[in-house]
């Protein structure tokens, strides 16, 4: 893909030390932007993810809380914002709704104000499939009735509604991406809030027992992180003034199937134990990716097994 539109531009990535963020940052730096700002308070991100990037003369790392207006005060020129910083976990959003509200909603308004002040070309931001909640119709289209079932999902829905309102009121161009289950290298396995793939893989490699919440028949769309980066960059490049898109692989897999694929790849011999389903966990989540393919030219490049092999080789 050609993302040379970023050459010589001023770009901000929030959450750039995180899992998706550090892959995005690496892709952006290859396009030779004039300036790349990274804002991250390292609450779940790791400075080590971007150590090689931080040393570059065109990169400025701002270790700040995105919910504080002062975090962006020093930025005086900007073309594109990629906003990924958030409280990312559903269970944590139940435990800490106020922190979730502050980070995810105030943080987002901070980005809208920045976009307005510096007249940015495009604000691309991470929404989530959590805006859908439990749905009956699969695969899920963007036109489905939204039904978030956690403070996290609600915060992402509010981001989308603010983005829509600010496009109408202030002409701020934005694209929101409803990521499904993203996986790939650099996803932390040491937190109960991490993606199921990184947790399964970590435990299988260590020979530790594995718990599955619920009966394992929950279905998910697992999308490889480089495909998510592709979607974000296509969004920034697009001429669209407003958009909301699903980002998935278009394939669905149950947790039991995932367990089997990973078990074969890692030669793990144990059986999983099944635990009570977690609050806020949804049963079915399958992405219809027709709209993003048609409107942004997105084409997922990694099937689940290919992504898992890449992940295993890098782990």
Binding site for ligand NAD (CB under 6 A): 15, 17-21, 39-45, 65-67, 84-86, 88, 103, 107, 126, 128, 179, 181-182, 195
Tell me the closest approach of the beta carbon of residue 95 to ligand NAD, in angstroms: 15
The DSSP letter of residue 127 is E
Tell me the closest approach of the beta carbon of residue 90 to ligand NAD, in angstroms: 10
Q: Quick one: CA dihedral 240, 178, 202, 200, positive or negative?
A: negative
Nearby residues of 15 by Cβ (< 8 Å), 6 or more positions away? 21, 39, 40, 45, 66, 83, 84, 85, 86, 126
Residue with Cβ nearer ligand NAD (4 or 63): 63
Phi/psi of residue 204, nearest 5 degrees:
-65, -40
Tell me the closest approach of the beta carbon of residue 19 to ligand NAD, in angstroms: 4
Which residue out of 132, 152, 162, 224 is catalytically annotated?
A: 152
Q: How far apart are CA 191 and CA 194, in angstroms?
A: 6
Q: How far apart are CA 289 and CA 271, in angstroms?
A: 33
Residue with Cβ nearer ligand NAD (17 or 296): 17
Could you identify the residue written with the tokens 């084409």?
299
- Name the token pair of 184: 């790939």
3 given a catalytic annotation: no
DSSP string, 156-210: HHHHHHHHHHHHHHH---EEEEEE-EEE-TT--SSSTTS-HHHHHHHHHHHT---
Tell me the closest approach of the beta carbon of residue 44 to ligand NAD, in angstroms: 4
Residue with Cβ nearer ligand NAD (246 or 296): 246
Tell me the closest approach of the beta carbon of residue 23 to ligand NAD, in angstroms: 9
Residue with Cβ nearer ligand NAD (192 or 267): 192
Q: How far apart are CA 232 and CA 6, in angstroms?
A: 12
Residue with Cβ nearer ligand NAD (2 or 286): 286
Reported as type and span, the H/E element at residue 81 is: strand 80-83
Tell me the closest approach of the beta carbon of residue 293 to ligand NAD, in angstroms: 19
Q: How far apart are CA 314 and CA 308, in angstroms?
A: 10
- Reduced to 3 states, what is the DSSP secondary structure of residue 273? strand
Paired strand residues for 128: 179
Q: Quick one: CA dihedral 151, 222, 108, 89, positive or negative?
A: positive
Tell me the catalytic residues: 152
């Amino acid at each position: 893909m050609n993302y040379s539109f970023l050459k010589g531009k001023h770009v901000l990535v929030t959450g750039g030390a995180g899992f998706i963020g550090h892959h995005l940052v690496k892709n952006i730096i290859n396009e030779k932007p004039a300036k790349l700002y990274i804002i991250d308070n390292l609450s779940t991100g790791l400075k080590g993810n971007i150590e090689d990037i931080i040393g570059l003369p065109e990169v400025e790392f701002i270790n700040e809380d995105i919910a504080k207006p002062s975090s962006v005060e020093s930025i005086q020129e900007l073309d594109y914002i990629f906003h990924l910083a958030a409280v990312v976990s559903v269970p944590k959003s139940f435990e800490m709704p106020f922190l979730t509200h502050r980070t995810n909603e105030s943080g987002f308004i901070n980005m809208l104000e920045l976009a307005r002040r510096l007249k940015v070309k495009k604000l691309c931001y991470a929404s989530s499939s959590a805006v859908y909640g439990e749905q009956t119709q699969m695969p899920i289209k963007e036109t489905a009735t939204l039904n978030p079932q956690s403070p996290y999902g609600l915060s992402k829905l509010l981001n989308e509604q603010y983005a829509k309102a600010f496009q109408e009121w202030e002409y701020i161009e934005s694209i929101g991406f409803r990521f499904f289950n993203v996986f790939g290298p650099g996803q932390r396995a040491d937190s109960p809030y991490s993606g199921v793939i990184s947790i399964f893989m970590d435990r299988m490699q260590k020979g530790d027992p594995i718990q599955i919440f619920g009966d394992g028949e929950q279905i998910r769309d697992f999308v490889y992180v480089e495909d998510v980066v592709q979607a974000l960059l296509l969004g920034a490049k697009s001429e669209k003034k407003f958009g909301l898109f699903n980002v998935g692989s278009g394939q669905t897999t149950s947790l039991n199937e995932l367990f089997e694929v990973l078990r074969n790849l890692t030669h793990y011999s144990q059986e999983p134990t099944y635990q009570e389903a977690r609050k806020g966990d949804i049963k079915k989540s399958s992405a219809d990716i027709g709209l993003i393919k048609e409107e942004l030219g997105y084409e997922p490049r990694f099937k689940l097994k290919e992504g898992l092999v890449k992940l295993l080789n890098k782990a």
